[in-house]
Amino acid sequence: MAACNTCGTTILFGGTKVGEARYCNATCAQRGQLISLSRQIPADVVVSSVSKVFHGACPKCKGPGPVDVHTSYRVYSALIVTRWQSFQHVSCRSCGVKAQLGDALFSLVLGWWGFPWGLIMTPVQVTRNLAGTMKNRSETGPSPELENAVRVWLANSAVNRPAAPAP
């Protein structure tokens, strides 16, 4: 089975292929292109930006940091259709835990209605969310996921910056 080059999600069927890279969807393919561009950003700019985000206020609740990436997992099922996703939240630990608990509850209520994947994936996603609430990643400094998120944000800002007018 293949894994998405951007988010690491397992790709069972389909996906998007760009060159040799495989992505779970078009959004991850676009993000993958930004990640490629982000590798050209000087290391000192990235380190400075990551430090500002990590030590800054939470973008969700505006409370004190540290700010890091927290991943929540969700599954939704309806008879023969099951969809599972992961979401990355750049936030403080409290907001990250709220997102994980919210997606665990979402999965418990709406995840198990499909056969067979709903019955299989619901306990998996709920367990992943509960395990995520136990981790306190911020004690050791910014995670590699935060560095990647900041790199992508910097690359996206550079790509979407209006071009300077010609003289």
Domain that residue 106 falls in:
56-139
Distance CA 61, CA 65 (A): 10
- Predicted TM-score of the model (pTM): 0.77
Are 22 and 2 in contact by the 8 Å Cβ rule? The answer is: yes
Query: 79-112, pLDDT tens digit by residue?
Result: 999 999 999 999 999 999 999 999 999 999 999 9
110 Cβ partners below 8 Å, 6+ apart?
75, 76, 77
Query: 22-32, pLDDT tens digit by residue?
Result: 888 888 888 88
In a domain, 18, yes or no: no
124: left (phi over 0), alpha (psi -120 to 50) or beta: alpha
In a domain, 132, yes or no: yes
Q: Determine if the peptide bond prior to 165 is cis (ω within 30°).
A: no
In a domain, 113, yes or no: yes
In a domain, 111, yes or no: yes
